[in-house]
Amino acid sequence: MRIPTSLGTLCACLVMSASAFAEMTPIDLQITARALSFMERPLAGSVRVGILYAPDNPRSVREAEALRDLLAAGLKAGKLELTPSLVGIRDAAAAKVDLFFLAGFVGAAEAKAAGISALKVPCVTTDIAQVEGGACLMGVRSSPKVQIMINRAAAKDSGITFATVFRVMITEI
């Protein structure tokens, strides 16, 4: 009887840790593309995506590389064709991109210090804590249920506005 209980506890721990730092999935990308289409000035066509990561954190590097590989495989999200490049968090200001994806395992202080909002480029992540802290504009998760969160202050700082119809469907903080 101890084995099933221990196995159940292990599974619950794995699920909780996976949801804390969930890698972006193809479904998350589709949701992101749909959400970005509600911007008052939406992205279109070929979009240069900077995948922000912490170069000194191996888990952040792995997550960023996995997202780059996913996008490099020719994944299209809605009407967007996403072209990825890896960008160290400290190099965000110099990146020539149309959109940022913030990988997990980037320190909150480091992400905030990068001043992503001031760059006037949308930032998306699955790390909801980064959205709550104001380091990133939009948080997207597809599991266990679809969740889209917008940080109102980061949106204002970025100069990015969304259609009213979209704002009633999401969580704004």
> Which CATH number covers residue 73?
3.40.50.2300
Instruction: Kindly give, in sequence order, each residue whose CB lies less than 8 Å from that of residue 49, ignoring residues fewer than 6 positions away.
Output: 71, 82, 83, 84, 85, 97, 98, 99, 100, 101
Q: What is the pLDDT of residue 124?
A: 96
Whether 11 maps to a domain, the answer reads: no
- Domain containing 63 equals 21-172
The tally of domains found in the chain comes to: 1
Distance, in Å, from the CA atom of 151 to the CA atom of 102, rounded to the nearest integer, reads 14
- Check pLDDT > 60 for residue 145: yes
pLDDT digits (tens, 9 = 90+) for 37-93: 999 999 988 899 999 999 999 999 999 999 999 888 766 766 778 899 999 999 999
pLDDT digits (tens, 9 = 90+) for 76-135: 766 778 899 999 999 999 999 999 999 999 998 899 889 898 899 999 999 999 999 999
Coil, helix or strand for 68? helix
Whether 165 maps to a domain, the answer reads: yes
Whether 16 maps to a domain, the answer reads: no
Closest CA relative to residue 60, chosen from 13, 27, 20, 23:
23
- Check pLDDT > 60 for residue 166: yes
Whether 12 maps to a domain, the answer reads: no
Whether 4 maps to a domain, the answer reads: no
Contact 64, 53 (CB under 8 A): yes
Low-confidence winner among 73-82, 87-96, 142-151, 162-171 (lowest mean pLDDT): 73-82
Whether 39 maps to a domain, the answer reads: yes
Label residue 20 by pLDDT band (50, 70, 90): very low
Whether 15 maps to a domain, the answer reads: no
Whether 5 maps to a domain, the answer reads: no
